[in-house]
Structure 1
Amino acid sequence: MRPGVMGRGKSVGAGPYRMPAWTEKGERIRRLFEACAEQGWFNGRLLVAKDGEPIADVTAGWADRYRRRRLTADTMFNVASVGKTFTAAAVLLLVQEGRLRLDEPIDRWFPELPWRGAAIRQLLAHTSGIPNYIPLVRKGLIETPKERTVQADNAGLLRNICEAQPEPDFPPGERNCYSNTGYMLLAMLIEKVADVPFHDFLERRIFRPCGFARLTECRHSDRAERLADYAVGHWIREDGEAVPPHTVPGWEFVWYLDAIQGDGNVHASAAELLRWDRVLRTEELLGRAALGEAYRPARLNDGSSARNGLGWFVADDSRRGRKVSHAGYWPGYSAEFDRWLDRDIVVIYMSNEEREGSHELKNRMMRETERILFEA
C-alpha cells in the first residue's frame, strides 16, 4: 500500500483560504477513495453525507467488465444484507399497525419448524438460536441440486431445512449469532400476515410511498429485465481476469441461493440509501416507538446487551454518539450503511468487485473514513 494513502497526514488545503471543516473532511475522504481506485483497490460507489447533504461522492470503475460498461452515480447495486434493514422495517410496520407482536413465537406462525420458542424480536436481533442456512448448504447438510438450472425459493429451502432437522445453535436469547434463516422466515411471516408476496409488500408499503423511484427487491434472474443500470458482481482472479462469482470453487451455492428473500436481494443506488436514512430519521414510515425498538440493543437472557437492535448493529460512543449500521456481503458484492444518529452523518459504501484481500482493504478504507470524520 502506498505510504500516506491510508495513513495519518495533513489536512487537504494550503495557503490563506481554509475550507469549512466538513467540506475539508469530505475532500480528504474523496481523495482517499480516488487514490484507492487508482491503485485498483476500490471499484464502486462511496457517498458520505452530513445533515443529509453529500460531502464526499465517488464513483469509480466498472459496472460490467464483460461489456465494458462503467459505473455511474445512479448505478444499482445488490446491497446484500443491508436489505435486512428493509425486512426489519416491514415487520416493525406490521407491529406498529397492531398486526404482529414482537414477543410472539415464530413457531405460532410456522408450526412445522424444528425449533420452538424463538420470538419474532429474537429473529430480528439474531438472538433466536435458529441456525444459519448458508453454512448448512455449504457443508452439504441440506441437499441442493448440482446443475445450475434451479434456484431455491423461501418455501422450498424451508422444507429442506425442516427435513434436515438441524439442532438450534443455542436456546433462544442465550447469545448473539447471525442467522440469515431468521430473516428468510421473517419475509415469509410478512407474506402470511399481509397476505401479499414479500416483494409486493415492500413495493406498496415502503418503496413507493416513501418516494423511492428505482429501489427494488428482485432475484438474480430478474435483474437484467428490471434494472437498466445495474452493477454486475465480479471476482477478480490473480491474473486480473474477471469471472462470475458462482464459477469460483467453493461458491457453487451462489446460483442456487440467489433468489432467497428477506435476508438480502434489495438493489439500490447510493442516493436511495441516503434517502432511506432520511425516511427513517424523519419518522416518515416508522414512529418513535418502533424506531426506539430498532435502535435499542437486544437483551440476552442473562440481562446483558447484544450487539444488535432490530435490523441494525448498534453501538454507542461517548464522543461519537449512537451508531446504527449494517454491512452486506454476497459473493461479488460488498456494501456498508453506517449512520451516526446524534451527528446526522451517513457513510454508504458499495462495491461489485472482489479479489483476495478485498475485505481487509475495505475495512481499512472505512476505518480511515471514520477517523477523518471524527478527528478534532
Structure 2
Amino acid sequence: MPEKEDSRQRVSVPPYFTPDSARQLGSHLDSIFTFLHKRKGFNGTVLVTKYDQVVYKGAFGYTDFRSKDTLSTETAFQLASVSKQFTAMAIMMLKEQGKLRYEDSVQQYIPDFPYEGITIRQLLTHRSGLSNYTYFSDELWSDRNKPITNDDVLNLMAAHRPAVYYQPDTHFDYSNTGYMLLASIAEKASGMPFALFMYKHIFEPLEMKHTFMFSKDVITQTGSIATGHTGGRRKRSPDYLDTVLGDKGMYSTVEDLYKWDQALYTEKLVKRETLEEAFTGSRQKKRIEEDYGFGWRIRPVASGDTVVYHAGLWHGYTSYLLRNPKDHSAIIVLSNVPNGSLRYLKDLREFLYPLQASEAKSEGGKPLNARL
C-alpha cells in the first residue's frame, strides 16, 4: 500500500511547557503510578504524552505471577475493546478505497445474515440492536473446548436467529456483536483474512512491531506477552471465545499504541475528513454525558476539552486509551490484573485536565497520590 502524505496536524506548544515542566509532570505521574502499584494493586504498563511528547512511561509488576517475569513497556497485552477503534479504522480505509459504503446493508457482504435493515454505519455506532454473541454462543456452541471463529458465530446467527434486543437504529446499545460483524465485513470487502488486512494496512505501515491479532498460535509470538489474571492474581487461560475478532482479539504495547496515537494526527491511514467522522457523536439524545463515534467514546473533561477514548475488559486484561486533540496528549494504560485499580483513572483525568485551572498551574500542582 503506498504511504499517504503525512500532512501532520500541528499543535502550538505554550511557553510554560518547558523541558523542566515536562520532567516535573513526569515525576508527578511516577508518584501516582508507584502509589497505585504499591497501595492499590496496579499491575501493568503506562505511557502519557503531552504536546506529542512522551512525558512519562513505566512498567509495574509481572507478566506472570507464577514465573515472576517483570513487565516492560514493550510487553504486549490483550486490548479487549480498545481493539474496536482499529476495526473501525479498517472499515474507514475500505470506504476510502471504494470497497464499501457506510449505508450498505450487512447482507451485501454476508448474504445469509438473517436480520434486515442493519447497515455498516449502525454497526459502527452501536445502533444495530443485535444480541450479544458472547451470551448466545454460550447457549448454542456445543463444545467449549473448540475455539469459535467469526464464521462460526455467523453460522449460529443464520441457523438460530437469536432474538434482537432492539430494532435497528432505535437505540444506542453497546454491541460486541456489531464489531465482530465489522471484522467479517472487512474480510469480505478486502478479500483477505481480517488479521492479515490489519497487519498489511495498519500494523506494518506504522511499524507497530509488537502488535498482532489473537490466534491459536499466539503463545508462539515473539517478544513478551502478559498473561491475563483474575483480580486475585490467578492465571486466566484462553477460552473458546478468544478467537472471535473485531470487538477484541488484538494485542499491543503502550509503545506501539503511542505510534498509533501519533499516526492519527497524520493522513498515513485515512484522510483527515474521513477520520473526523470517527470522532463525531452519533447518539440522538440531546442531553447525554458521553457520545460515541466510530470505535471511540467522546466526552468533555473538567477543563472543558473534549476527549476521545475507549476502555476494555476481557479475560484477565484491562485497557485504556484516551486522546485529547487540543493539546495532543494521551493516556495509555494496560493491565493484566483487573482488580479495580484503574477506577482511579478518573482522578488522573482530573489531574491532567483540571477544572478552572491554568495548565501552567497544573504542571506544578499537588501530586494525585496525596488526594487518594
After TM superposition, the score normalised by the length of structure 1 is 0.84
Say which SS state the counterpart of residue 63 (structure 1) adopts.
strand
Q: How does 1:1-376 map to 2 (within 5 A)?
A: 20-39=20-39, 41-138=41-138, 140=139, 142-146=140-144, 148=145, 150-219=146-215, 221-237=216-232, 242-246=233-237, 255-300=239-284, 307-316=291-300, 319-354=303-338, 358-359=339-340, 361-364=341-344, 366-375=345-354, 376=357
- SS of alignment partner, residue 263 of structure 1: coil
SS in 2 for 1:82: helix
Q: Write out per-residue CA displacement over residues 313-341 of structure 1, whole angstroms, 9 at most, x where no aligned residue.
A: 11245844221111111021000000011
Retained in 1: the 8 A contact 2:301–2:349?
Answer: no
1:194 maps to a residue whose letter is S
Q: What is the CA–CA distance in structure 1 between the aligned matches of 2:316 and 2:210, rounded to whole Å?
A: 21
Partner of 1:4: none
The answer to whether the 8 Å contact 2:296/2:310 transfers is yes
Tell me by how many angstroms 1:295 deviates. 0.6
Cα distance, 1:299–1:43 mapped onto 2, change above 3 Å: closer
Distance change in 2, residues 1:333/1:317 (3 Å): closer
Instruction: Tell me, in whole angstroms, the C-alpha distance in 2 between the residues paired with 1:182 and 1:109.
Output: 14
CA distance in 2, matches of 1:214, 1:75: 8
Which whole-Å CA distance do the structure 2 matches of 1:136 and 1:291 have between them? 33
Q: Hey, what's the Cα distance between the residues in 2 that align with 1:64 and 1:77?
A: 12
**Partners of 1:213 and 1:245 in 2: CA distance:** 25
Cα shift at 1:245: 2.5
The whole-number CA distance in structure 2 between the counterparts of 1:67 and 1:223 is 19
Q: What amino acid is aligned across from residue 36 of structure 1 in structure 2?
A: L
Unaligned runs of 5+ in 2: 1-17, 358-372
Report the equivalent of 2:369.
none
Following superposition, the deviation at residue 272 of structure 1 comes to 0.6
Change (3 A) 1:51 1:19: closer
C-alpha displacement of 1:135:
2.7
CA contact (8 A) 1:29 1:372 kept: no
The letter for the 1-side match of 2:236 is: P
**Residues 21/374 of structure 1: CA separation in 2 closer, same or farther (3 Å cut):** farther
| TM-score normalised over the length of structure 2 | 0.85
Superposed CA deviations along residues 222-278 of structure 1, whole A, max 9, x for unmatched, are 2221132110111243xxxx42325xxxxxxx6010111111111111011011011
Cα distance 1:353–1:299, how it changes in 2: closer, same or farther (>3 A)?
A: closer
- Structure 1 residues 184 and 19: CA distance shift in structure 2, 3 A: closer
Does the residue aligned with 2:230 lie in a helix, a strand or coil? strand
Aligned residues: 337
Displacement of 1:157 in angstroms is 1.7
Residue 39 (structure 1) shift:
2.4
How far apart, CA to CA, are the structure 1 residues paired with 2:219 and 2:69?
14
On the 8 A contact 1:84/1:311 being kept in 2, the answer is yes
Q: Is the 8 A contact 2:147 2:239 kept in 1?
A: yes
1:298 is paired with a residue of what secondary structure?
coil
Report the Cα offset of residue 128 of structure 1: 1.2
Distance 1:40 1:277 in 2: 28
Q: Is the 8 A contact 2:302 2:353 kept in 1?
A: no
Distance 1:322 1:92 in 2: 22
For 1:177 and 1:103, the matched residues in 2 are separated by 19
Would the alpha carbon gap of residues 39 and 324 (structure 1) be closer, same or farther in structure 2, given more than 3 Å must change? same
- Secondary structure of 2:319's aligned partner: strand
Query: How far apart are the structure 2 equivalents of 1:86 and 1:263?
Result: 9
Q: Please identify runs of 4+ aligned residues in structure 1 that moved more than 6 A.
A: 302-306
Q: Take 2:211 and 2:53, find their aligned partners in 1: how far apart are those partners?
A: 20
Distance between the aligned counterparts of 2:128 and 2:222, measured in 1? 35
Give the Cα separation in 1 of the matches to 2:287 and 2:130.
20
Q: 1:93 and 1:64 mapped to 2: Cα distance?
A: 37
Q: Is the 8 A contact 1:144 1:256 kept in 2?
A: no
Contact 2:128 2:168 in 1 (8 A): yes
In the alignment, the residues of structure 2 paired with residue 236 and residue 212 of structure 1 have an alpha-carbon distance, to the nearest angstrom, of: 29
Deviates more, 1:102-111 or 1:76-85: 102-111
Deviations 1:107-150 (A, max 9, x none): 22223222111110110111111222123235x2x23424x3x1
